[in-house]
Structure 1
Amino acid sequence: MSLNLPLPDKDDPVWTAANGFVVRKDGGVIRLTGHETFAVKVTGEETDGAFAFMDGLITPDHGNQPHIHTKEDEAFYVVSGAFEFINGNEKITAGVGDFVYIPKGTRHGFKNIGTEPARLLVFYTPAGPESFFLAYGETDRAPEPWPDEKFNEMVDILGAHNMVLLPGDHDWD
């Protein structure tokens, strides 16, 4: 291709700097939270705070507590299974290949509505919430539901990570 426009010199970092990176299929840091197992694949430290990415496996009939993020948008891509999401006061059913976007300040949550473990990719922009999983996710036990007492103990910790838990379980009423 021949372009008729000014281009940077071949010594310019735009041509020479290899600033990107790859995370392999088995890469990331594994953390367990209740019935969720997440591989934190990309952190804000790696993207100058711009973006974070996690790969989750969620057991049937489980998911997260309704909540909001005060500073980050969150998006989901369903790799396997089927999920029910809340988005404010609406419920959304999403299956393989579906993408769900939730802007900051919006009540949301998800649960696996299938009969098998289901895989969900989670994106944050800017980065931030992944640091909660890294700091407080468990590393050495089989996933089981976190009791209300654990959530109550974590209210201030979650707040420090720009997350606010909201009342309601997975009925989301």
Structure 2
Amino acid sequence: MTTPRFISASAARSLPLFGGDIRITMPADGPGAGFSAFEDVRQPGDGPPWHVHHGEDEMFRIVSGRFRMRCGEQEFEAAAGDCALLPRGVPHSFVNIGDTVGTMFCVVQPGGFEHFFLEVAEAGLRIPEDMGRILEIAARYRLELLGPNPFSGR
């Protein structure tokens, strides 16, 4: 990156996806470039399937709420202000264990993974109804969905 980038809050893209809302706050300059950033907003009891990124590291900072996270064999609880680094190649998932909506700010490096969210949202795909198509898209982004969320079973 050679020039500064600014994206106003009003220009961030919000995507209702997999029971949560993904708000893309800083897309990558291009696939595999630099980093991407997004907010992941989850209702109580909600979280993504058990999955592994083969191409990206993820760093989460809890903005609000409480989350239980599992990365490989390690489990921990995280609350507002806590950070977690989830390395590529290690299966992981999380769930909102609070009584209110929880928000996490996520930085993905290298960037470009937000295009997975965009493709799935633009196609209107849902879990479990459209799992075959979602798996096809995930494979292009080196994302492997391994099963239901280990905490919620969804």
Normalising by the smaller structure, the TM-score range is: 0.7 to 0.9
Q: SS of the residue aligned with 1:60?
A: coil
Name the aligned partner's letter for residue 10 of structure 2: D
Quote the offset at 1:166 in angstroms: 0.8
**Structure 1's 55 and 77: CA in aligned 2 closer, same or farther, altered over 3 A?**
same
1:149 to 126, 129, 144: 129
Identity of aligned residues (%): 23
Name the aligned partner's letter for residue 126 of structure 1: P
* Structure index of larger Rg: 1
Aligned to 1:80: 64
Aligned to 2:94: 110
Q: Give the structure-2-normalised TM-score.
A: 0.87
- CA-to-partner distance for each residue in 1:110-142, whole Å, 9 max, x for gaps? 1111111111111100012111112222599xx
CA RMSD of aligned residues (A): 2.3
Q: Distance in 1 between matches of 2:30 and 2:133?
A: 29
Aligned to 2:143: 163
Bigger drift between 54-63 and 150-159 goes to 150-159
* Higher percent of residues as strand: 2
Name the aligned partner's letter for residue 156 of structure 1: E
Q: Give the structure-1-normalised TM-score.
A: 0.78
2:33 maps to 1:49: yes
Name the aligned partner's letter for residue 130 of structure 1: E
Q: Distance in 2 between matches of 1:97 and 1:33?
A: 24
The answer on whether the counterparts of 1:31 and 1:139 sit within 8 Å (CA) in structure 2 is no
Q: Distance in 2 between matches of 1:129 and 1:47?
A: 8
Quote the offset at 1:167 in angstroms: 2.1
- CA-to-partner distance for each residue in 1:78-108, whole Å, 9 max, x for gaps? 0000001111012110000000001110111
Q: Distance in 2 between matches of 1:112 and 1:161?
A: 25
The answer on whether the counterparts of 1:66 and 1:107 sit within 8 Å (CA) in structure 2 is yes
**Structure 1's 172 and 60: CA in aligned 2 closer, same or farther, altered over 3 A?**
closer
2:79 to 92, 95, 98: 95
Quote the offset at 1:156 in angstroms: 1.5
Aligned to 1:13: none
Q: SS of the residue aligned with 1:148?
A: coil
Aligned to 2:117: 133
- Structure 1: runs of 5+ lacking an equivalent: 1-17, 141-145
Name the aligned partner's letter for residue 153 of structure 1: R
